Structure 1
Amino acid sequence: MSITATPGGPVRRLAGLLHRRPYLRLATLLSAPLLWLVVAYLGSLAALFAAAFWTTDDFTGEVVKQFNLDNFQELWSQTVYRTITVRSVGVAAAVTVIDAAVAFPMAFYMAKIASPRAQRWLVIAVLTPLWASYLVKAYAWRIMFSGSGVLSWILDPFGIHGPGYGLPATITTLAYLWLPYMILPIYAGLERLPNSLLDAAGDLGARTFRTFRTVIWPVAVPAVIAGSIFTFSLSLGDYITVKIVGGKSQLIGNVVYDNIGAADNLPFAAAVATIPVVIMVIYLVAVRRTGALDNL
């Protein structure tokens, strides 16, 4: 038996109401994803910030749900945590700069030089590493940086030892892992650059550097910043790569992980986890004030 909407029936009245009020139709469509965002993401973030103001009883190990600033006072007073924060920001910045330097020429070739058929294959080639497991890629770099790995095998004839595990290995591995997240935004941004502007710059006698500075770079800046948000934030909160190739290095993510696991101090881990959140908020506000995101 089929159900039809009779004239003046509830289905017809509901359809008419949605037709007359587009904002209500939009709210109905967005209600489910917004509910998921509020409950799953903002709710968990609120729980994180709330837990950061709790403490753990040293004798029983139970969480004491009383508001205090002990965790943040410890973070501020201990030099080691400030050092780890500065080191984490430095690693994230280095990864972002390396990825931008490597991604820009690749993205420019994909967008402005390669044929349409080659563009499709290059995009697939960029996306392919994302299909592989994170752990597989990280452990592959661990093998390369080991004492008997590929790097040592290449450098040994020159009397040079490989870098081994540590911050250089961490930066290299993270730069490889997040490189596609920098290439794709820059590629999309450069695709919007009309070829006629490049031809006009050449016709007017602009040299390569001047064309890059006055024509290409202003268009590419929003795309580079968009890619930097991915590479910087992902590197800032990563802890697995540091565990695998970082040696004895400590970053923010490791401190959070260690306090959740071995130390079993969830409130302090939550307080440490607020550091990358605050850093990213400051970064996004600074980027927004420059106006670089207006054209994204």
Structure 2
Amino acid sequence: AFFIFLFLACIGYLVYLLGPSWPFAFVGLAFVMAWQSMASPAIFAVIGDALPTEKRAMGFSIQSILKRVPIVIAPVIGGIIIASRGIVTGVHLGLIITLAIAAMTFLLIRLINITSEAHHSTNIFGVWDSFQSELKRLLISDIFIRTCEGMTDVLVILYVTNVLHVSVARFGTLLAILFLTTILIYLPAAKAADRVGRRPFIIATFCAFALYPLSIILAHNFAGLVIAFIIGGLREIGEPARKAMIVDFAQPQLRARSVGLYYLLRSLAITPAAAIGGLLWKVTPQTPFVMAGAFGVAGVFIFVATVRE
């Protein structure tokens, strides 16, 4: 599966590199997104197969940190290349480097040798039927939480810069605070979750999701925004635990397909969230944040009331 997804992504990068006009960028994008959107279930399954239950949260935490390292470094390197070589030549050189890294990734994937459960043939309805009731309830609460996130995610920069009149440079500082908070809490939270249980940390992360939009509209100065963005960083405190819980609840022989269906259903359910947030913005800029907070609080209560480890 990893080989197929990486091969599709490489096709996309080649289309970027060799495409004669800008419409080909959309064709390339469809292939490039194959890794990001299709490889996650396989990654979940590998972590679930490779690690015992008591180490899975730490496994997801390390994977999340390692995933973010190139996200931080790559734009800087790309910017330097483009600045020194020009836009067209710089982008082409960046794509060539990307393809070289993909070739090295092929070699690394060959080293993955995880013994997994035998797979059983079933359709999407069979996978849904295999979901434990706890996993279905986790999905419902997660949909509420991600709706909360989706309603305001793209509006945060507009509210902070246009309504609170914070400069773009200072907004960048706030984002740095958010990401730093996330990185600092990942490993300690995952280690504690493996020891004391997933549920308290998932409740904490869902509470942070609910409080984040509310804390932004309650902030009246930069110090208040710093607190709000620290809360935003704390949204990741229970993410490794939540991912580990999904893997724990999934049937071992259907693990990858269960994760894929879980995220498919969640993505479909929250698709209208951003559009709804935009419409609510027309009422008042604060309205989507208040509604998002309400959805977040509902998600917290649903999880607390219905999901047990």
TM-score over 0.5 (shorter chain) = no
Q: Which has the higher helix share?
A: 2
Which structure has the larger Rg?
Answer: 1
Q: TM-score, normalised by structure 1?
A: 0.38
Higher relative contact order (CA closer than 8 Å, sequence separation 6+): 2
